[in-house]
Structure formats: structure tokens, C-alpha cells
Amino acid sequence: MTERKKILSGDQALAYGALSCGVRIVTGYPGSPSSGTVETLIGLAKTHNIYVEWSSNERVALEMGIGASIAGSRALVCTKSVGFNVMIDPLMALNLTPVHGGLVILLGDDPGGYGSQNDQDSRSLVASVEMPLMEPSTPSDAYAMMQKGFQISEQFNTPVIIRETRSFTRQVESFSVSDKTLKADNLGLKREPWRFVPVPLNVVDKHRNLHKTIDSLKEWAKTTAFNTVTGKGTKGIVGAGFAHQKVGDVLGKRNLDQFRLLKLGVLYPLPEKIIVDFLKECQDVLIVEENEPYIEIQIKAIAHDNFCRARIFGKQSSHISREGELFRWQIQDALAKFAPEFIPSQIYCAENEVKERPKRKDYCGNCQYDKILDALEAAAASLGQKPVIVGDPGCLVTVADRLDAKYAIGSAVAVADGLSKAGIEERAVAIFGDSAFFHSALPAICNAVHNRSKILMVILDNKATATSGFQTNPGVDKNALGQDAPSLDIEQIARACGVKHILSAGPDEHEVKLKDKFKEALLLPHLVLLIIGIRPK
């Protein structure tokens, strides 16, 4: 098999890594980071005969991947941090059922919350689901890690999670990649009694077997090249995943021999022997990682259990911030505090942060949501009302200052209904997009119908998942690959769910007419749905 050099970003490298080892099914829900890998594979799908879809939500994406694995095919499931939360329910059963075809989950964390409603560190959740977790430090690392992920998934019959961060996806590197797709053997449909069926009868045994698998993975983690030690001296630095690359940038070539460096690419299970040997060579150790002190806490426990005397510093000692993205100037400041003799090769300062922050594409030009809220508020004022407005994540971030509350995707309906059931005098209004409707708003709508809700629901129908790049959803007549697909009708579905009072407004509705629509909706003392068409950018 021949290879050729390509210049790839982090998310492209992950895509080519999956392609090179015979991935056949790729699923996901739009959200950065992780969308870039799916979009790269969409562009390669026809040439390499792989199936790619934007699923209606992350749970469905995972369940598609599970089905593909049972069928013996290699599957890649892509999600961002908050989408990983949506997957947790099936994940907590998947960990007990040995997979068949290789199954890799690409998990995009967003330190700094650049495109998320939180500053979540998903690594502790991964430890809870007890699945192997790796994080690359460079694009070439990501390429190799994706290949190894599928290999160990089938070797140990476990899903494998690869974590990336938004800033990692921006890194580019020139390295050799395979110019052919591996013809991975389809392992065929696996039909084995109880293998994929966790029930009270067998769940403890399955959990016990899971821990045996983790023990085997600990042995593998001891020897993998993703965990390496370089440098010398009694001051050690542990860099987890992409944070290791940032440490290297800050140290520069001049300082590499001043510190002993441990690069951790396998974050669960941790390679305990490597860590113990490293700690015993050091007097002081600085743990560099993004978000929470996930690695730091575990290394302290390992040090205690193995009578290691090294002093350990990091987030808990206030050397490094626990909030937001970890910038190079912060690492430099931490190193100056940790090792006063450290002389930087170049100066990173807080002003550099603007350059380090990920550049986010703006898909929100010509946004009409301010106009829509103006019409809603004007209609309410004419009736002597001041509605409580609950929104969903997504496009509504552009008018977030005008919302009373905003939580997870699909949550606006139930939160608004909870306000209403609590007896507030004001009318509760839930505003959400078409993608959220298909993602997870439908159960809340059914609940609202069944329990005689009186809220006003407003769907902003973009005919796309707009904020993340206008990807398709089930309301669009094309699928992710651009092929013709049935478009589901929001009004028909809402009526089938029992919503009786449905109004609509077109994308070019004059502001006065839009105000009249809102006024009509607010006057109805029932559960009302107003569908507003939004002209795509």
C-alpha cells in the first residue's frame, strides 16, 4: 500500500484515519468540534463507498453505530460534548455488551464554551461508562490513533472513545497517509445468545467481565506508543492529549532537556506503571490538562498507592486554571511558578489569546430572530402581556439577551410547561428550531398535549441545522450525501402528536402580519404551535 504526504487539520486527520482502516458507517449530529470530521467523510463517501448520515440526534447516531457493529461493520460515531450527554443512556448498556465490528466514538470537547452552553469536561463521564479513552496531541497522532482505535475495539470487543478539542481541530500538519482504503473484513452478523442483551439476570456478570477487559487494556496501555517519556531532570511535566503539544510549543527546543516530559495519549485506563516510573524519577511534577483536574486527581492517587514522594502541582494547587481553554500564556505562567529557573524561548502573553482562540465561522448573517422577537413582544404588549420566553441552544444564541431561560437542545417546551404548571401569570413561550424539533422536542410536545399544556410553542423552521453550518435534518428533502430523501412535515407530525391549534407564517411575512399571527396565538388559551419559516442564508 503506497502513501503520500498530505497537509491535514486535526479533524481531517481523524477522518482519513477512519477511512484508511475500512470504516463503513459514519453517523453524527451537527456540532463543533466533531462536525469537521463528518463533513470531510461526506466529501469522500462516494469515492470510497461509505455510508454517512446526519442523524436526528446523538443517541440515534450511537444506536445506528451499535447496529452496524453487531452487523460486523466498522462504524464511527461523532458527537460534541453536550451530545455525549444525550448518548449516556445507551452507552451505559453498550459498555456491558462486547461489540463485534469496530466501534469508535469521536468526542469533541469545547473548553471555553465557544459553541456550547457549558464548559464541559467529558473525560469524567467517559470514566463512568468505563470505555477506553484516547486523546491525540497532533494530527498525525490523530490519524494513527483512529486506526489503532478500530483495531483495539475489535481486539478487546469494546467501543473506543477518541477525544478532541476545538483548538486541536485547527492544528495542521504535513504527514504521510495511505492513498487506499483498507478493505476491512466484514465480520458478518453476530447472533450470540445474551451477548447484546443486558438484563438483571446477567448484568453483574457482564460488569465483572467489563472490568476484566479494562484490566487487559491496562496491559496494552503500558506499551502503546501514544504514551511516551522524553527529556531529563527532576522536574516533570505531564501533558494530557493536545495539552502536551501546547507544552512543547511553550518550552521550545531550548528547554526540552530541562524537564522530564510524560505525554499521555491514553487517558482511560491510565498506564499506571509508566506513571509510577515517571514519578519516581521526579521531585516535582506539573500536570497540564484542559478543564478539570481529571488526570491530576488520578495521578495523585497512583502516587499515594505506590509511595511516590514527588510533589504534584496543577489545577488543585492553582498553578493552572480550571475554567475555559488552556492557553499557552497560562502554561508559560504556570511553568514560571513551577520552575523559577525556566527561561522561555519566546514570550506568550494574555494578548496572544485572541490569536489562539478558535475562529468560528459565522452562519448567522442576516438573522431574522430579532425581528421575530420584536413582533412577539409588540403583540404581547398590545394585549397587556409580557410573556416568559424560553429558548433552545442554536440560532437563538444571537438573541440570548432577550430570553428568560435557555438550557439543552429540545428543552424549551418542557421548561416552559413547567413554568406554566407552576402557576405563573405570564404566558410561557417556548422557541426552538426545526432541528431541535426532530432532535428531542417531540417527547416534550407529546407530554404537553397529554397534560393539557397552555403554552405557546414557536418553531423557527430554517430547513437546516443552521448554527453549525446548515447541515440537513429530517425536515429537508436531501440527506447528508446530497441524495433525495423524504422531508418530514412538522405540521403533520405535530397534529399527529395531538396539537390542535397550529398557525404558520412564511419567511417573507411582513412585520405587521407577523405581529398579528403572534397576537392570534397569544389570544388562544390552549396549547398553540406557531411555525415560522426562515429563509436560509
The DSSP symbol for 233 reads: S
Mean pLDDT across the stretch 372-381? 94
Order the strands of the 260-264 sheet from edge to edge.
Answer: 228-231, 260-264, 235-240, 284-288, 311-313
> Has residue 402 been placed in a domain?
yes
CA distances (Å), origin 54, targets 16, 90, 94, 438:
19, 19, 21, 12
> Has residue 208 been placed in a domain?
yes
Mean pLDDT across the stretch 388-398? 83
Look at residue 340 and tell me whether its pLDDT is greater than 90: yes
Q: What is the pLDDT of residues 495-517, one digit of tens each?
A: 999 999 999 998 677 778 899 99
Peptide bond into 474 cis (omega under 30): no
Partners of 263 in beta bridges: 228, 239
How would you classify residue 30: left for phi > 0, otherwise alpha for psi between -120 and 50, otherwise beta? beta
Taking the model in full, what pTM does it have? 0.92
Please answer whether residues 370 and 399 qualify as being in contact, where contact means their C-beta atoms are separated by less than 8 angstroms. yes
Cell of 489: 412535515
% residues pLDDT > 70 (the chain): 95
Residue 325 has φ and ψ, to the nearest 5°, of: -65, 145
Cell of 35: 462536525
Same domain, 286 and 351: yes
The DSSP symbol for 441 reads: I
Cell of 255: 528547554
> Has residue 361 been placed in a domain?
no
Please answer whether residues 153 and 100 qualify as being in contact, where contact means their C-beta atoms are separated by less than 8 angstroms. no
**Which residue among 223, 251, 283 closes a domain?**
223
In whole angstroms, give the CA distance from residue 65 to residue 87. 12
Mean pLDDT across the stretch 286-296? 96
Same domain, 293 and 421: no
> Has residue 362 been placed in a domain?
no
Same domain, 395 and 503: yes
Look at residue 183 and tell me whether its pLDDT is greater than 70: no
Look at residue 58 and tell me whether its pLDDT is greater than 80: yes
In whole angstroms, give the CA distance from residue 489 to residue 470. 18
Same domain, 462 and 475: yes
Other beta carbons within 10 angstroms of residue 422's beta carbon come to 8
Same domain, 108 and 131: yes
Same domain, 159 and 247: no
Please answer whether residues 512 and 372 qualify as being in contact, where contact means their C-beta atoms are separated by less than 8 angstroms. no
Q: Per residue, what are the HEC states of 349-372?
A: CHHHHHHHCCCCCCCCCCCCHHHH
pLDDT of residue 178: 82
Domain of 7: which CATH number? 3.40.50.970
| Helix or strand (DSSP H, E) at 243 | helix 242-251
Between these two residues, 104 and 187, which has the higher pLDDT value?
Answer: 104
> Has residue 338 been placed in a domain?
yes
CA angle 273, 148, 7 (to 5 degrees): 115
CA neighbor of 407 nearest in space, from 54, 82, 28: 82
pLDDT of residue 536: 56
Q: What is the pLDDT of residues 95-125, one digit of tens each?
A: 999 999 999 999 999 998 888 888 899 999 9
pLDDT of residue 180: 66
CA distances (Å), origin 183, targets 1, 20, 50, 187:
12, 9, 11, 12
Mean pLDDT across the stretch 421-434? 95
Residue 267: pLDDT band with limits 50, 70, 90: very high
Residue 526: pLDDT band with limits 50, 70, 90: very high
Same domain, 206 and 255: no
Which amino acid type is present at position 251?
L
CA neighbor of 532 nearest in space, from 409, 433, 390: 433
Q: Note the maximum CA span of the chain.
A: 75
Same domain, 175 and 56: yes
In whole angstroms, give the CA distance from residue 97 to residue 63. 13
pLDDT of residue 363: 52
Q: What is the pLDDT of residues 192-246, one digit of tens each?
A: 999 999 999 999 999 999 999 999 999 999 999 999 999 999 999 999 999 999 9
Look at residue 2 and tell me whether its pLDDT is greater than 90: no
Mean pLDDT across the stretch 39-64? 95
Please answer whether residues 511 and 537 qualify as being in contact, where contact means their C-beta atoms are separated by less than 8 angstroms. no
Same domain, 274 and 201: no
Same domain, 125 and 12: yes
pLDDT of residue 360: 61
Look at residue 450 and tell me whether its pLDDT is greater than 60: yes
CB under 8 Å to 43, separation ≥6 — which residues? none
Q: What is the pLDDT of residues 133-149, one digit of tens each?
A: 999 999 999 999 999 99
pLDDT of residue 154: 97
Order the strands of the 501-505 sheet from edge to edge.
Answer: 405-406, 388-391, 428-433, 456-461, 528-533, 501-505
**Which residue among 300, 328, 356 closes a domain?**
356
CB under 8 Å to 423, separation ≥6 — which residues? none
Other beta carbons within 10 angstroms of residue 451's beta carbon come to 10
In whole angstroms, give the CA distance from residue 147 to residue 116. 29
442: number of CA atoms within 13 Å, CB side? 17
Same domain, 206 and 82: yes
Separate counts of helices (H) and strands (E) for the chain: 19, 20
In whole angstroms, give the CA distance from residue 70 to residue 357. 40
Mean pLDDT across the stretch 445-464? 95
Residue-by-residue DSSP string for 169-183:
HT-EEEEEEESS---
Look at residue 365 and tell me whether its pLDDT is greater than 60: no
> Has residue 363 been placed in a domain?
no
Same domain, 256 and 277: yes
pLDDT of residue 355: 74
Domain of 304: which CATH number? 3.40.50.920
Write out the residue range of the structural domain in which residue 437 sits: 369-533
CA angle 147, 167, 438 (to 5 degrees): 80
In whole angstroms, give the CA distance from residue 392 to residue 397. 8
CA neighbor of 394 nearest in space, from 57, 39, 24, 104: 57
**Which residue among 208, 223, 238 closes a domain?**
223
Mean pLDDT across the stretch 238-266? 91
Mean pLDDT across the stretch 519-526? 96
- The 3-state DSSP class for residue 283 equals coil
Number of compact structural domains in the chain: 3
> Has residue 187 been placed in a domain?
yes
> Has residue 100 been placed in a domain?
yes
Peptide bond into 393 cis (omega under 30): no
Look at residue 445 and tell me whether its pLDDT is greater than 70: yes
Locate the DSSP E strands across 233-328.
235-240, 260-264, 266-268, 284-288, 311-313
Average pLDDT over the chain, rounded to an integer: 92
